[in-house]
Amino acid sequence: MTVVERREIALVDLLDRLLAGGVVITGDVTLRIADVDLVRIDLNALISSVNRNVPSPFGD
């Protein structure tokens, strides 16, 4: 087993924190949390369309 310390931050690690973490404040411009969760889902779809070469179906 190896412990990998990456210099470049992976986008997923970033989104785990920026879309699911951080203080949630209803700003003047409101994106409801449901919308943001939706973004996550759409993002999944988006990436799967980008990675068409990967054969296996969706894991989750």
Partner 1 sequence: MTGLRYVYAVCRPFDTPLQAQLGGVAGDPPRLLPHGDLVAVVSHVPEADFGEEALRAHLEDLDWLTATARAHQQVVDALTAVTTPLPLRLATVFRDDSGVRVMLEERESAFRRTLDRLEGRVEWGVKVYVEPERTEQADSERSAAPAEPEQRPVSGRDYLRRRRRQSRANEDLWSRAEEFATGLHRTLSGRADDARLHAPQNPRLSGAEGRNVLNAAYLVGRDASEEFVEMVDRTKDDAPGIRVELTGPWAAYSFAGEQEGTEEGAGKKAGEDS
- Binders of partner 1 among residues 39 to 58 (CB under 8 A) are 39, 42-44, 46-48, 50-51, 54, 58
d(CA 52, CA 31): 30
Is residue 58 a contact partner of residue 44, using CB atoms and an 8 Å limit? yes
Is residue 11 a contact partner of residue 32, using CB atoms and an 8 Å limit? no
Question: Which pair of structure tokens corresponds to residue 4?
Answer: 């990998």
- Binders of partner 1 among residues 17 to 36 (CB under 8 A) are 17-31, 33, 35-36
How many chain residues are in contact with partner 1, going by CB under 8 A? 46
- Residues at the interface with partner 1 (CB under 8 A): 1-6, 9-31, 33, 35-37, 39, 42-44, 46-48, 50-51, 54, 58-60
